[in-house]
Structure 1
C-alpha cells in the first residue's frame, strides 16, 4: 500500500452517511432523549444498522459526535463571555449557565457525561475535558481575585453543574437558577448577593 492510499480522505459517500447519521441522531435525541433506538436513527438516516455501527460502534460514540456539533456554539459563547467587559465572577457565572444549557440539550445527557469523566481517551470523555479546561480558564481569574476558594477546580464546577442539571431533570419544579445559586455558596469565598 502506498502512502497516498493510507492518507486519503474518506470517500464522499462515507462522509455523507456520517453526516446523515449525526443529523438523524440529533433529531431523535431531541425528540426521545438519548435512549432513542439506534435502529430508528439508522432508518431515519437512510442507512443500515451496520453502517451506523461502523461509524459509531457505541451509543457513547454517537452521543459524542452529536455533542461535537454543539462545540462551536459553546466555543462562541465562551468567546462572547470573554470579550464582554464584566468582572471575572460574573463571567464564570455566565459560563456555568452556558454549560448547563449544553448539558440540558438532550434528555438523559447528564448520566453519560458523568460516566465519560471516568473514561479517559473516549470521544465523550475528550469533549468533557475540553469543557472542563474552559471552565478552569474562567475560574482562575475568580480565584486570583480571591472570590473563589483556591482548592476548587474546573472539574469540581463541571460536576456541580452536572449534578444540578441532573437534579432539575428529575424534579422539573425545582428551578435550576436557584439550585445554581445555592451551589455557588460552596465555591465562593464571600456570600453572593442573591
Structure 2
C-alpha cells in the first residue's frame, strides 16, 4: 500500500509536467502562426485540453509567453557569449547585441507590445525577462561608453525600448522590407547631421 501511495503522486507530477510541455509546444506553434494576441481558448482546443488545465499551468498569457521565452533564453545567452568572445570593438559588439535582441523580441508577431508593458509592471511574469535584457544591454552599452563610441547620456533601458519600438513599427502595415534596417540605422546614428561645432556629443 505504501508503494502505491508514493507512486501516485509521482505519476501525477509526471503527467502534469507532460501536460505543461505539451502546452508549450502547442502554444509556440500557435503564436508563430497567429501572433501573441491569439485566443488562449484556441490554444487549449489545439492542445486537446480543457481551458481549466491550460490556466492551471499558465494563469495568464504573459505567464505562457514568459515560459516560452525562458526556453529560448539559452540561445540568446549563447549569442551574448559569442559576441563577447569574438568582438573586440565595443561599438560593433553593442550593435551585434542589439541585433540579436531584436531577433529575440520578434520571435512572435506582436511580442514587443507585452514586453514593453512589462518594463513598467514589476508584477508581470515577463518582468524578469525584461530585467535580464536591460541588464545585459547595459553591460554592452557601458563598454561602448567607456570606449567613447556611445553617447554618455544613452541609457540601457531606453536602448531596449528603442529595440522594442523599432520591432513593433517594422511590423506595422505601412512598413516595407527595408523598414527594419532603416529603423536600426536611425536608432544608431540619429536622424540629424551633426554640426561642425561638436554638438553631436551633447544631450538631446
Unaligned runs of 5+ in 2: 1-8, 191-198
SS at match of 2:171: helix
Matching residue within 146, 149, 153 for 2:148: 146
SS at match of 2:152: coil
Q: CA RMSD in A?
A: 2.1
Q: Deviations over 1:77-112 (max 9, x none)?
A: 101111103301001000000111111111111111
Unaligned runs of 5+ in 1: 1-7
SS at match of 2:123: coil
Matched, 1:29 2:31: yes
Q: Where in structure 1 do 4 or more consecutive aligned residues deviate above 6 Å?
A: none
Matched, 1:172 2:175: yes
Partner of 1:183: 187
- Superposed displacement of residue 43, structure 1: 2.3
How many pairs were matched up?
183
**Are the aligned partners of 2:167 and 2:180 in contact in 1 as well (CA < 8 Å)?**
yes
Partner of 1:3: none
**Are the aligned partners of 1:20 and 1:45 in contact in 2 as well (CA < 8 Å)?**
yes
Given the two structures, how large is their TM-score scaled by the length of structure 1? 0.87
**Are the aligned partners of 2:87 and 2:93 in contact in 1 as well (CA < 8 Å)?**
no
Given the two structures, how large is their TM-score scaled by the length of structure 2? 0.83
Q: Which moved more, 1:91-100 or 1:145-154?
A: 145-154
**Are the aligned partners of 1:116 and 1:125 in contact in 2 as well (CA < 8 Å)?**
yes
